[in-house]
Amino acid sequence: MKLRSFCAAILVTASAAVLGSAQSASMAVPSAAIEAVAELWQPPHDLSSRDLFHGPGGAELAPKAETPFTWVADDTSGYSRGFDVRGPDGREWSAKIGPEAQSEVVASRILWAIGYHQPPTYYLERWQLSGGPGGQQPAARFRTDFDGAEVAGEWSWKDNEFVDTQPFRGLIVANILLNSWDWKTSNNKIYRHADGTRRFVVRDLGASLGQTSSSKLFWMIPTRGLGQGTRNDIEGFESQGFIEEIGEKGIEFDFDTIYGSVVDLVGPADVKWTAELLSRITDSQWDAAFRAANYGPDVRARFIRKIKAKIAEGLAVP
């Protein structure tokens, strides 16, 4: 389904201030507006210095491959199999195995770089499991929760308190740009800290860096492993465009999705806002984000080249 569309909405004063330019998004904004949108996004004033190799957890939280992890439970939900495990320090991790492991780490790094909340996420090429099936395990994405917080619920792309804000619409654009297509509500978590503060997070980003599918039948097949597109697929990612047309009635993306009403919220200004944020990521940071997921030099160069081409399209939007 090709999407023509955007609701041409003009933001109210408070929201517009949150959103201003990517460089000064928090200036002259009523404190209540800042606090509300901060649960989803915070201006990344330190973007150019963020460590996209280790991500939000930093080097200190990175799991060590040489130390066995204790099996807690099998995780059979979703496309990729995995385990809930516990590290030697007692920290619990979700370990996801399969092609989504790499793409999720990269997508998470990119969203975090431009200001969206993301939990600590890492990639281990090999690791040992004690208990359960035990033994040497293949490459996996390791994700842990924010310290001092617990998952308190889920939130929907279609119905949430951020719909009328630029950061929310920028989040939509960023996911389109990354061909991240699995937008079901169960992937979106609300974390609550002991002091009552919350973080709204898009998790399970592995269905990205591939190609979306135009087959509605394919979307609806209830078979494990099938869905709305491919994952971690450089050829598919390179073959798909970004912006197809900008006209009087809106913007048309080369992005097939069952979430058309969500994409319809996006206008040209949202695309440009997101592209400006992404354009601030340095060459070394892009490389670090893909190295974090152990992509080889050639493949990561191809992904980065395509992403930068899409960003250039966004920056050129009038």
Domain-embedded: residue 183: yes
Strand order, beta sheet including 92-97: 121-124, 140-143, 92-97, 82-86, 69-75, 127-130, 135-137
Domain-embedded: residue 261: yes
User: What distances in angstroms separate CA 265 from CA 3, 141, 250, 260, one per listed residue?
Assistant: 11, 32, 10, 9
CA–CA gap between residue 202 and residue 111 (Å, rounded): 9
What percentage of the chain exceeds 70 in pLDDT? Answer: 85
Least confident of 93-107, 116-130, 158-172, 226-240: 226-240
- Higher pLDDT pick, 255 / 250: 255
Give the pLDDT mean for 132-137: 93
CA–CA gap between residue 281 and residue 279 (Å, rounded): 5
Write out the two tokens for 317. 């939007």
Per-residue model confidence as pLDDT tens digits over 64-83: 999 899 999 998 777 888 99
Q: What are the φ and ψ backbone dihedral angles of 3, each rounded to 5 degrees?
A: -105, 115
Per-residue model confidence as pLDDT tens digits over 255-306: 999 999 999 999 999 999 999 999 999 999 999 999 999 999 999 999 999 9
Q: Quick one: pLDDT at residue 195?
A: 94
Q: Taking the CB of residue 35, how many other CB atoms lie within 10 A of it? A: 11
Q: Quick one: pLDDT at residue 81?
A: 87
Give yes or no for residue 221 having a pLDDT over 90.
no
Q: What total of structural domains would you count in the chain? A: 1
Q: Quick one: pLDDT at residue 140?
A: 97
Domain-embedded: residue 79: no
Domain-embedded: residue 76: no
Domain-embedded: residue 78: no
Nearest Cα neighbor of 237 from 169, 297, 304, 145 is 304
Helix residue spans in 48-165 (DSSP H)? 58-61, 100-113
Least confident of 23-32, 169-178, 304-313: 23-32
Q: Which amino acid is at 92?
A: E
Nearest Cα neighbor of 58 from 68, 50, 67 is 50
Nearest Cα neighbor of 104 from 202, 238, 226, 199 is 202
What percentage of the chain exceeds 90 in pLDDT? Answer: 79
Domain-embedded: residue 225: yes
Strand order, beta sheet including 198-202: 149-154, 188-193, 198-202
Domain-embedded: residue 255: yes
Determine the structural domain holding residue 229 and report its residue range: 3-57+110-116+150-315
Domain-embedded: residue 94: no
Give the confidence band of 32 by pLDDT, cuts at 50, 70, 90.
low
Give yes or no for residue 248 having a pLDDT over 80.
no
Q: Quick one: pLDDT at residue 10?
A: 27
Query: H or E segment at 75?
Result: strand 69-75
Nearest Cα neighbor of 285 from 50, 56, 128 is 50
Give the pLDDT mean for 60-67: 94
Write out the two tokens for 141. 């994405």
Give yes or no for residue 3 having a pLDDT over 70.
no
